[in-house]
Structure 1
Amino acid sequence: MTTPPGWYPDPGQIPDHPPQERWWDGSAWTENRRPAAGFPPVPPPPPGRAGRGPLIAGLVGAVVLVAALAVGAVLLLGGTDDDSGGDEARPGSSAPKIPKDKEPAPDEEPPDEEPPTGEPELPTTPPDADRPAPADGVRLPKLNGWEGSGGSVMIGTYDCPGDAHEKCLRGGSSIVEAEGKGPAKEIAETDVERNAKSAYNADTYGGITSHKVIEKGKVKVAGEDGYRVRWKIKNKIKPDAYVESVAFPHPDGSGEMLVVRSGFDIHKDAPPLSDMDKLVDGVSRGSAQDDGSRENV
């Protein structure tokens, strides 16, 4: 599954400048940036020498995201051929990846030449208008063992099944603006297919061969009346997965519709399906830049 869209350390971070986060739309970097959580706004860079600093892996060992002065690698939600086999396996989710041609070497040194504008050299991909935008004013809880910011959380890194040189995640969830208008039920039923195809894309998983609705119905989200649709999907390349879209009105009373998008691999190393419920139950008002330090056990 392609990472839930979310804020991640900017791969074009300027050395010696306060860290920034950049919006990953699920398949490419957009031009939306913000100061990393806990840091003041980044002032414009002064004229003079600028370049690209080293990229530090964003998930190491126990999936610790380095977000201070490091540039994190955004992972593509994915799975492996090592499937637990059947419904007895614990479900999980995959993560976003950065194409290799856009990923600088870990020991890369800043170039000698000075860019004429003083701007960092960044891989540029035009934002996809069809991708959901991040939601403001709401946040997810950070469950035990999970990592990420309040607007997007994830867990469990492993080699992607479609490319062992890329890394995927066992579980992921994010809050985005709804693509379209209407009641929560209609939005959730429409969004879950988009979520499944984006999260478990054909390039990495060979394509979705079938799906089954395993749960649907009304649910409370941040005190609002929402609607949940959860699928179990089968992929050509294992693992299979659970995907879910939960639509609900923004708790600020604006009438804006939001969606919690989640995806969990079905695998013994994935988080339990009960975490999907906990993530929705723990949605609250607050900044998406929040580090999600509140934990649900």
Structure 2
Amino acid sequence: MSMTTPPGWYADQGAPGTERWWDGNAWTAHTRPIGGAYQQPYQQPQTVPLAVGGGPGGGRRGRVVAAVAAGLVLTVAIVAGVTLLGDDEPKTAPPAAATTTGPAPGPTDDTGGASPTDEPSADPTVLVDQLNGITLPIPDDWEKSDSVVDRSVTMTTVADYECPGETNRYCRYGRVMSFTATQTDAAGPEALAKEDIQDASDALYDEDSIGNSYYGGVTSHTVVKSEAVTVAGRTGYLVRWKVKTGSGPGGYVQSLAFPSTIGAESLIIVRFGFDAGPKGPPLSGMDTITEGIRRIGDATGGVGSSIGPS
């Protein structure tokens, strides 16, 4: 069963120190300072006089009216409490929505720290990262993720399987997520990609944030590719590893970093996790997705071609 993220104020990663309103379906243009006041005026509960028994049945009427009055006061108090507490408490990210029934899900969307920037799109062939101003092509047999984990927008393969390192958990054969880079000392896309690849490997194939080891942990890795690329008209950099895991066939991890096309041109990270083995997505799919990244509204976009090895 799928659940959507409830409306509310959430941290706007594109504008530090501000919050943006999520209306339950999309980000709106309404912003405010983090912790800024946005309260409905408190309404003093109105007191209802109690009937005083003056004849047969008077006491009973008094008790009935008293019960009605108590119910009205309780209702007003609950509404006021929700208005005052629910709207003003700062939040860092919309809560994740449950997306599956049956066995507990595996690490389909674990980013290791990334921002809910996805704006639902009517086009099922693209994943929209609204805050970073880009779209990513969704390959055949892939789908947008119904849940938001940390602060990323995510797509996964439709097919899943029981995780090799955990029982009663399901893993996806492929995962791709996009988010704004934060809290990094890396100077430029190349340094950021080389810094992020270890975190990507840990998040996608080693352990999740609460210690679940869906693949038996990463035992070793090999650098497959490290090169500059053009993404959505901007010069970026990618690093790709092949990782061996304690259970299962292992996989390929890629960190792609490039400047945003909007705002202050903060750096964007796109992480890829493709299972190795015959059932994993073709490795060429990483290049296809990279080449297909576009600025929102741009039908042609950047080339995504290789500039050359470092």
Q: Normalized against structure 2, the TM-score is what?
A: 0.54
8 Å CA contact retained: 1:134, 1:175: no
Alpha carbons of 1:40 and 1:183: their partners in 2 closer, same or farther (altered >3 Å)? closer
Quick one: distance in 1 between partners of 2:198 and 2:289?
Answer: 20
Letter in 2 for 1:227: Y
Residue 153 of structure 1 and its aligned partner are, at CA, apart by 1.1
Match of 2:170 in 1: 167
Quick one: distance in 1 between partners of 2:267 and 2:28?
Answer: 30
Residue by residue over 1:217-253, the C-alpha shift from the partner in whole angstroms, topping out at 9 and shown as x without a partner, is 0011111100010000011111210000000000126
8 Å CA contact retained: 1:138, 1:151: no
Match of 2:179 in 1: 176
Note the 1:147-166 alignment, pairs <5 A. 147-148=143-144, 151-155=153-157, 156-166=159-169
8 Å CA contact retained: 1:185, 1:247: yes
- Residue 174 of structure 2 aligns to a residue whose secondary structure is strand
Quick one: distance in 2 between partners of 1:193 and 1:161?
Answer: 21
Letter in 1 for 2:232: A
Match of 1:144 in 2: 140
Counterpart among 126, 132, 149 of residue 114 in structure 2: 132
Residue by residue over 1:90-137, the C-alpha shift from the partner in whole angstroms, topping out at 9 and shown as x without a partner, is xxxxx248xxxxxxxxxxxxxxxxxxxxxxxxxxxxxx9x72234522
Letter in 1 for 2:204: A
Match of 2:249 in 1: 239
Alpha carbons of 1:269 and 1:254: their partners in 2 closer, same or farther (altered >3 Å)? same
- Residue 274 of structure 2 aligns to a residue whose secondary structure is strand
Quick one: distance in 1 between partners of 2:175 and 2:251?
Answer: 12
Quick one: distance in 2 between partners of 1:231 and 1:273?
Answer: 11
Letter in 2 for 1:207: G
Unaligned runs of 5+ in 1: 1-7, 14-18, 24-31, 50-69, 78-94, 98-127, 288-297
Unaligned runs of 5+ in 2: 12-19, 30-74, 80-96, 118-130, 146-151, 208-212, 298-310
CA RMSD across the alignment: 3.7
Quick one: distance in 2 between partners of 1:96 and 1:277?
Answer: 20
- Residue 200 of structure 1 aligns to a residue whose secondary structure is helix
Quick one: distance in 2 between partners of 1:195 and 1:168?
Answer: 16
Residue by residue over 1:125-164, the C-alpha shift from the partner in whole angstroms, topping out at 9 and shown as x without a partner, is xxx9x72234522221111111006932110211112223
Quick one: distance in 2 between partners of 1:165 and 1:282?
Answer: 35
Quick one: distance in 2 between partners of 1:35 and 1:76?
Answer: 28
The aligned length equals 195
Structure whose CA Rg is larger:
2
- The answer as to 2:260 corresponding to 1:258 is no
Match of 1:72 in 2: 99
Percent of matched pairs sharing the same residue? 30
8 Å CA contact retained: 2:179, 2:270: yes
Letter in 1 for 2:106: L
Alpha carbons of 1:36 and 1:189: their partners in 2 closer, same or farther (altered >3 Å)? same
Note the 1:1-297 alignment, pairs <5 A. 10=3, 34-35=22-23, 37=25, 72-73=99-100, 75-77=105-107, 95-96=108-109, 131-134=113-116, 136=131, 137-148=133-144, 151-155=153-157, 156-179=159-182, 180=184, 181-202=186-207, 203-252=213-262, 254-286=264-296
Higher-RCO chain (CA-CA 8 Å, sequence separation at least 6): 1
Residue 211 of structure 1 and its aligned partner are, at CA, apart by 0.5
Q: Normalized against structure 1, the TM-score is what?
A: 0.56
Quick one: distance in 2 between partners of 1:183 and 1:153?
Answer: 26
